[in-house]
Each structure stands twice: as C-alpha cells, then as structure tokens.
Chains A and B, each alone.
Chain A
Amino acid sequence: MFYAGSAVAQPMPLAERITLCGTCHGEDGNSRMQNIPSLAGQPEFYVLNQLFLMREGVRRIEVMTAFVKDLKDDELDALSKHYAKLAAKPSDEPTDPALVQRGTELANARRCGSCHLPSLAGQDQMPRVAKQRIDYLIVTMKSYRDSPRPGADTAPPSPASRIPTSPRSRIMRRRGSGAGLPVFC
C-alpha cells in the first residue's frame, strides 16, 4: 500500500513522454516487442483507466511503476487521447488458420463481442483485443484465469476462468468478428 504522497515531478512535455512510451509500445503505438501490449486504437477510457490504476498501485506492473507514478490526471488524459487516435495494426506473429478458426468459435461461444464489440475493437473500459499482440493476450488471459486483475470489474474473469489453457491460446488468434454476450455480475 502507498500513502498519497505530495511528490511533485518535473512535467515532461507530452511529445517527449510519447517517445518514451514508444520505445516499448511502438513509435506508432503498435508494439513489436514480445509480451508488450499495443496501445494504438485502444479506447480512450481504457487507457486512462489503466494508467490511473497503475499510477495508484492498484494494478501493479513493476516495470511500469517508474513511468506512471508521477503522471498527473491531465497527462493521463492527453496520453489516452493520443493512443485512441492511432491506427491499430496486426503484429507479425505467425498464425495458424486452424487455430484461428477454433478461436473464432470459442470467442463466439464465449460472447467476447458483447463487451469488446463484435469487431473486438473494445469500448469504454473494455480493451481492444483485435490486432493486439498474441503473446500479450495469452499472458493476460492466463493471468485473468488464475487471478483476477485488481482494478478490473468482475466481468471478464468468470468466463475466462472456465477455458482450459490450450483452447484459450487459440481464442486469441482470432481476427474475425463475433457477437453475443458474456457472463458476469
């Protein structure tokens, strides 16, 4: 736990901040690094919310702490608007058409599109999963299954928790569209 501090950091100009973020998350917001998420095309509210939760120590990602701990609310706002405007591009990770097919079926059955939208572009507090890095999605889904992320609403873990590991890896390879709704609350 952290107590609310009064540390005042030197504000970094937004452009400089974005360059810094881009060293891992990609200059254009599309990550080319293993297990590092793409931020391009993420819903504005989603980015704001996650940066906020990381800054406050609710969602703890050690490597991110130094970068987010001094961000002011208006900087969170500016970064969120920036990444929401960028175009999401698929990563160059290899995909297996059979797995893509199986993932499409699973995503339809699990009704992922209900919150993440049929296009899986995400909305509000729900992240874009379309065109996200596959390795990052696998890691994220596994951690959701094994222990729900603090700061997230209770929505996604319930359906994810019942997906065994191997088909779950497949679900992430999906790039198509789906519809339906999940199980939560």
Chain B
Amino acid sequence: MTSILSYRRSILLAGVLGLLMTAGPAVAQAPPGFSPLDKTKPAESKQDTNLKPHPTPPTVTALDKLPVDKLKLPNGFKAEVWSHGHPGARTMVRGDKGTIFMGTRLIGRVYAITDKDGKREVKTLLTGLTQPNGLEFKDGALYVFAINKVFRYDNIEDKLDNPGDPVELTEKFNLPDTVHHNWKYVAFGPDGKLYVQVGANCNICEVNPGIHAQIRRYNADGTGMEIVARGVRNTVGFDWHPVTKELWFTDNGRDWAGNDGPQDELNRIAKGQEGAFYGFPYCHANNVPDPDVKKPNPCQGVVLPAALTGPHAGGLGIKFYTGNMFPKTYQNQAFIARRGSWNREKKFGYDVALARITGGTAKIEPFLTGLLDEGKNEFYGRPTYVLQAPDGALLVSDEQNGAIYRISYGAPRTAGR
C-alpha cells in the first residue's frame, strides 16, 4: 500500500508520468478471472435485495413499437426514427462515405447502416464477437475492438457485403481479456493516438493499477502504449473538447453502496495532467470515501470530477456539439447518453443530458427525456451513444429497442421511415 501511495504522489507531482511510461508488455500480465478482493457488501447497501440488470432484447423491435412518440426535447427540437432493426444498438462511428458502423455488447454483432436517398439499409457486418463495443474509423479503415480481439478492416466501405479477412492487431495492443467492465470504447484523439480504456475488473476491489481502471493511448498499430488516466472505474465514452483539445470522459460509479450513489462522473484530463489518478477504488464522486476498500485520506491527490452525472445513471457516450444546426448556445457543449440505472430502487437516467461546460467544470441539464415513467418506475428505451451527423443533427442509439433516433432543430427534413 505504501508503494502505491508514494507512486500516486509521484504521478501527481510530476503530472506526466503517463507520458513517460511507454512500455506495452512491460506491465504484468492480467491475472485470469476476477479479483478475489471484491469487497462489496450489498446487504449493507440498504437497497432492494432483488435489484438486477435489465435484460436487453436480442431480436428486432418492430417499428410501431419504438418509443419515439414518448421522446421529449426542448422547444424547436424534434425526434424521428432514423434507423431500426439492429438489436443491441450502442456505439456509432461514421465512415468517410457516410456508413454508420454500430457496435454492440452481448449479442456480438457489428452493423453497417447505409443511407441512400433518405432510406436506411442495415447490414449485419460481423457476428460472433465477444462484446464488440469499441469501434473507430480512420483513413478508410474500421477498427473493431472486442473484449479479446482487435481487428482492422481496410477500405471497409467498399466491401460491406463481404468484409473479408481483417488485419489482426490483438497481440500488438496486448489488452487483458477479462470480461468485467472490459468492453471497449476507443477513439482517435487530436494527437492521432488511439485512446482505449481498460475498466476495473470488479464492482469494487483493489485492482492491479498497472493493468486495470485506466485510459491508455496507443499508436494506431498498437505500439507506444501510454497510460493517460488511472483510477477510472468504468468509462465507456470520451471525447475531446473542440477548443481546448482536452479529453473529457464519463465514468460509471460503483454499485451496492446505496440508492443515491456514489454518483457517476464526468471527468476531464487537464493539459499536463496525463497519467493522473481519478480515485477508484478509494474515492468516488466528490470526495466520497469507499465504504469497503478503505485507506487513510482516500481522496487526497485525487482528481475530482468536472460534474456529477447522477446516481447509477449509466453515463456512456459523450460528444461535444460543433454543428451548425442547433442554436449557438449548444456550441462546444457536450451531450451525454445515460443508459439508465439498474442498481437503484427508483429508476434514474434513460435520457440524453447536456453538460454545459465552464472552464474545467460542467453543469448537467436535461435534453432528451421521456423514456422513463417515474410514476410507474418503468423505462421504454436506453440511450447509449450519440453522434453528430454532417448536417448537425444528433443521432442517438437506443440499445433496448435497436434503433437510432435523429434529433434535429428548426426546419424539419423529410423523415426516412
């Protein structure tokens, strides 16, 4: 423990240790399976003992069953179905020729959704992968990060009907293949590096800080690994501020520590703070010491969040808005898809929130709501990721219903249904 403490201090003093750590294979191998140190005490959480994750339908939700009519937006905005019939809808990236590639978790598929004359065609591009949530597109190539595999499909938009054999990069990236919190989110940063997260392999436990609870960055070929954030429990969404070029990331708080928290976080990696420590497992949200994994001064030296994003809210995708369609007040503000709670008696989230940024902090306000009926404590959809379309509209994926909604402002365009 002493070594971890002094290690941490040195990171914070130097602030750039992450930049100096370039060793990929130098870190110890991940132990197989799960941490034996998971110290969760659900009985002490004083929560309904029958809370459990909600099932995600693997099959198609019919168009007339989509909850698009329930969606509520600020004045002047409207929602329509952009595409549907792709169960498990999560991550979205856009190819240069306009294809939307979509990643999923449990059902193991990657979709390619094309847009021709206002009509969408959904192709199931890949199947049988282990939680291929991590997708990125660059220079004509689709990068696919499953939990245990990394592939690159070159010139993918020219061969959507037969993608052929990919270039396999699994060994180059050398990522742990543990399942827990290890479905990927990946994105190229303004520095041309590919950013990849490795979540904590437990709800709450001491992790191996050399492997888990990190955000890393690599060269596109998997070389030159550096750790840019530590003590990050489970981020599956990040984006760069369009002006400051700083990385902002969502992070999901621990479970079984009460209905009201610790809250999820929106974090920022300030310039020169690469490699800093964000608190897991000792310190959560704004100075909340963990009730199970204890140490003296648990929040000392921890980078606190830019904003709290709600208890068990499930903040996943985040995108800064830079389009011309929405009012100017949305410029450079961040949309966050909140998938919604399971470990909370009164459901929370199931929406898209707006983070209004002021310097290094943010204020969270509602944007897209209506998928949660608070009176009935029921939900109708689960927004997971957001993507800005070239025309400035916002695409929102709904994992529960296998659909993408298009959010537009002002003069409505013909819907493609």
Listed in ascending order, the chain A residues whose CB lies under 8 Å from chain B are: 1-4, 45, 48-49, 52-53, 56-58, 60, 73, 76-77, 111, 114-115, 124-126, 145-148, 150-155, 157-158, 161-162, 179-185
C-alpha gap A166/B21 in the complex (Å): 43
Residues of B within 8 A of A111 (CB): 42, 49
- Give the docked Cα–Cα distance between A48 and B55 (Å): 12
B116 interfacial by beta-carbon distance below 8 Å: no
> Does any Cβ of A come within 8 Å of B342's Cβ?
yes
List 24 contacting pairs A-B, 8 Å CB cutoff, sorted by A: A1-B127, A2-B127, A3-B127, A4-B126, A45-B55, A49-B55, A53-B108, A57-B127, A58-B107, A58-B130, A76-B59, A111-B42, A111-B49, A124-B52, A124-B55, A125-B53, A151-B107, A153-B53, A155-B52, A162-B36, A181-B43, A182-B42, A183-B256, A185-B53
Q: Roughly how many angstroms separate A155 CA and B162 CA in the complex, as a whole number?
A: 35
A-B contact count (CB 8 A): 126
User: What's the minimum C-beta distance from A184 to chain B, rounded to whole angstroms?
Assistant: 6
Min C-beta distance of B280 to chain A, whole Å: 14
| In the complex, per-residue mask of B121-160: 1 if CB is within 8 Å of any chain A CB, else 0 | 0011111111100000000000000000100000000000
Closest B residue to A162 by beta carbon equals: B36
Q: How distant is the Cα of A4 from the Cα of B181 in the complex, in angstroms? A: 27
In the assembly, what is the distance between CA of A154 and CA of B202, in Å? 9
B106 an interface residue at 8 Å Cβ cutoff?
A: yes
Please, which residue of chain B has its CB at the minimum distance from the CB of A72? B59
A3-B163, A48-B59, A53-B58 known; 14 new pairs, CB 8 Å cut-off, are A48-B58, A53-B107, A56-B127, A58-B127, A58-B128, A60-B128, A114-B49, A124-B55, A145-B33, A148-B179, A158-B203, A162-B34, A181-B49, A183-B40
Range for the number of chain B residues in contact with chain A: 35 or more
Q: Which residues of B contact A179 (CB under 8 A)?
A: 49
* Residues of the B chain whose Cβ atoms lie less than 8 Å from the Cβ of A45: 55
Q: How far is the CB of B87 from chain A (nearest CB, A)?
A: 9
* Contact A157 B179, beta carbon cutoff 8 Å: yes
B129 engages A184 (CB within 8 Å): no
Looking across the interface, which residue of chain A has its beta carbon closest to that of B106? A151
> In the complex the two chains form, is A184's CB within 8 Å of B107's CB?
no
Min CB–CB distance B298 → chain A (angstroms): 21
| Nearest-CB residue, chain A, relative to B182 | A154
Q: Which of B40, B123, B255 has the most CB of A within 10 A?
A: B40
Query: Which chain B residues (309-355) contact chain A, with CB distance < 8 Å?
Result: 342-343
Q: How far is the CB of B241 from chain A (nearest CB, A)?
A: 30
For B29-52 the 0/1 string (1 means CB < 8 A from A) is 000111010101011000001111
CB of B9 closer than 8 Å to a CB of A: no
Output the residue of A162, A180, A183 with the most chain B CB within 10 A: A183
CA A1 to CA B149, docked complex, whole Å? 10
A-B CB proximity, top 9 nearest: A57-B128, A4-B124, A58-B108, A125-B55, A52-B58, A181-B49, A124-B55, A148-B179, A161-B34
Instruction: Indicate if the CB atoms of A181 and B109 lie closer than 8 Å.
Output: no
Question: What separation, in Å, do the CA atoms of A145 and B36 have in the docked complex?
Answer: 12
Interface centre among B49, B58, B109 (most CB of A within 10 A): B58
Once the chains bind, are B107 and A52 in contact (CB under 8 Å)?
yes
Q: How far is the CA of A148 from the CA of B34 in the complex (A)?
A: 9
**Which residues on the A side are within 8 Å of B202 (C-beta)?**
158
Answer whether A4 and B123 are a contact pair too, CB < 8 Å, given A154-B179, A158-B38, A158-B202: yes
